[in-house]
Amino acid sequence: MRKIHRLVGVSWLALAAAAAAATPGVAFADSGDSGASAATTSGASTSATTASGSSVSGGAPAFPGAAALSDLGGAPPFGTAVRLGDAGTLLAPGLSGESAPGAGIGGSGSAVPTPFIQIQPSIGATEQFVTGGYGGYGGSGNGSGHEFVTSINPSLLINGATRATTFTLAYNPSIQFYSNQSQDNGINQSLDGVIDATLIPQMLTVEARAYATEQATSGGLPPGGSSVYNNNNRTLTQSYSITPSFNDTFETGTLNLLYSAQFTRQSGNTAYLTNQNNPYFETGDVFAQTEAGSFTTVPFFRRFDDTPSFSATEDVGSGVLNGAHQYFIKNTVRYAIVPHVVLSASGGYEDLAYSGIPPTLIRDATWSIGARIRFPDNGILVARYQHLYGFNAPYIRLTYQLTQRTTLSAGYSEALSTQQQGIGLGVASSGVNSVGLPIGGLSGQPVLLSNQSLSVQSSLTRNRQFSAALTTQYTYDTVSLSVQAYQDTLVARAPGLVGFSQKSATVSISESHQFSPYATGTVYFDYGRTDSPALNSSTTSTYGFSAAFTYRLSPTLYANAQYSLTNNAYGGYDIGGYGNTGYGSQGVQNIFTVGFRKTF
């Protein structure tokens, strides 16, 4: 399960990056944030890439729409997704490091993928024995007791390509049956999909994304690991987007035009803080439309170019997004000191409006100054200091190949947005690799798109995000270390709802080891600190540990076993507002899982 969200806004700062990809002169040294191919990935995943945001032999982004969206001023830093995941997938075909045939324009080194289609359905079944951390078991209501959870897990993975299109769809629902708490029976949704189509080569592309996941409404869980929580504390997050983009090069420069439509919905039971009459979360959605354009001139001199650009986003949704908008104009000048070092400076104007309480209106000049460095030994650094969303803040993205086996990725950003805005932009600007994991950032490594450490709310906040990950790949082992920190500062609450500030920080480590062609094991550990009023605690510690083992019984049949221990920040069955608050103790939960998976 993916457990990190992105709190981002919508702005224009990527347009120069997309334009530069096809511009002579400076462009040869600076091909955009998404231009670096992934050398390694984390966890028990794969090193395969997809068309989205990937590069053609390290050159221009294959799909400029995603490349442009990924570099927006409020875009998240894209930390590597260090987590254990489903033990049943550790040795499934395509999940142990091999790529699907022709998968990924960037991975193939050619702009024209080899046509193919690969359809892999499967069915799995698991039995979980859960103790503690889920009050109500055995009628105790205090976090003790036990539960048996039976899950049926169908799965469909589709990878394919034509001469002009690449696509990936991964749908992994889990149908769950509880022996004691039958009210919690239901279906956990998990969907990742991407279609990238080139309608006119080098000119007109269309990119579509689909994403769905379940998360704890109250937060209080580490971004990785596993836990069981009830339906009262469950939010279904869905996001869908389509982004056509047009690019053309003239004698005087390169024109980029982009339109992006994003629909994001968070649905679940209304959630309340203790002793509050108004909820902090209720089902809501937003439909956002962005129109953007830029023109990058042929360099004035050999090392200079100039990019005027604009972006206009209109939101139709609930709460603070009802009738909201974000308008930006700017001009960026860049200078290449040497082929791999490009300095940039920009100035512009922003007009932002949100209909929360209090209403938020920002009309202000904007500016930024920074540099982009592409390292000769496979790495890229994008760093700038900017005045955007009415405040000054740094913006950093880094991917660096420390050694042939070790990759470092890191990022920091600040933005003004809601959670729904952030997830919508995050999905639109990320991709999906050939095994169905979201990927993004400078290196195309797996990322987390929703965050279970923070509570789900509809307020407008100033979001500070830091993410760093170190991944080392050996012949039979993959070791990953990740640090992630988030801080939401309340700016405006949605009418009729409660809003609050919150923050969290988590460190995670995982190791995957392939014992033989038939057996794989993974261990995972995380520790975090969370501060959120929804958890009825000023600061709460969380930790988790998981160990999993998967064995291939036949070419299409897998057996798996897993043990997980999680210390939830919430300690009871009912989360504030559902009757019993259940905040009397920390929820230490043990989960023992055994299961099988059959592929077809």
DSSP one-letter string for 102-114 = T--HHHHTSSSPP
Tell me the average pLDDT across 544-551: 90
In this prediction the pTM is 0.81
Place of tokens 């987390």: 448
Going by pLDDT thresholds of 50, 70 and 90, the confidence category of residue 407 is: confident
- Whether 82 has a pLDDT exceeding 50, the answer reads no
Q: Tell me which of 185-189, 209-213, 552-556 is least confident.
A: 185-189
Tell me the average pLDDT across 164-189: 89
123 has which bridge partners?
154, 598
> Tokens at residue 497, please?
């709802």
How much is the pLDDT for 216? 84
How much is the pLDDT for 439? 81
- Whether 442 has a pLDDT exceeding 70, the answer reads no
- Whether 334 has a pLDDT exceeding 50, the answer reads yes
- Alpha carbon 376 to its chain's center: 28
How much is the pLDDT for 489? 94
Going by pLDDT thresholds of 50, 70 and 90, the confidence category of residue 24 is: very low
Q: CA separation (Å) from 107 to 36, 114, 136?
A: 11, 12, 50
> Tokens at residue 198, please?
């080139």
First to last CA, the chain: 23
* Comparison of pLDDT for 364 and 14, the residue scoring more: 364
Tell me the average pLDDT across 182-200: 90
How much is the pLDDT for 194? 93
Tell me the average pLDDT across 110-133: 83
* Comparison of pLDDT for 88 and 433, the residue scoring more: 433
Length in residues, the chain: 600
Q: Tell me which of 346-355, 363-372, 460-469 is least confident.
A: 460-469
How much is the pLDDT for 386? 95
Contact between 175 and 152 (Cβ < 8 Å): yes
Closest to 236 in 3D by CA, of 217, 219, 223, 220: 217
Going by pLDDT thresholds of 50, 70 and 90, the confidence category of residue 246 is: very high
- Whether 363 has a pLDDT exceeding 90, the answer reads yes
CA 58/CA 246 separation, integer angstroms:
21
Q: Taking the C-alpha atoms of 78, 83, 85 and 91 in order, what is their torsion angle to the nearest 10 degrees?
A: 100
Q: Tell me which of 52-66, 191-205, 350-364, 470-484 is least confident.
A: 52-66
How much is the pLDDT for 98? 37
Contact between 74 and 389 (Cβ < 8 Å): yes
Closest to 238 in 3D by CA, of 297, 305, 283: 283
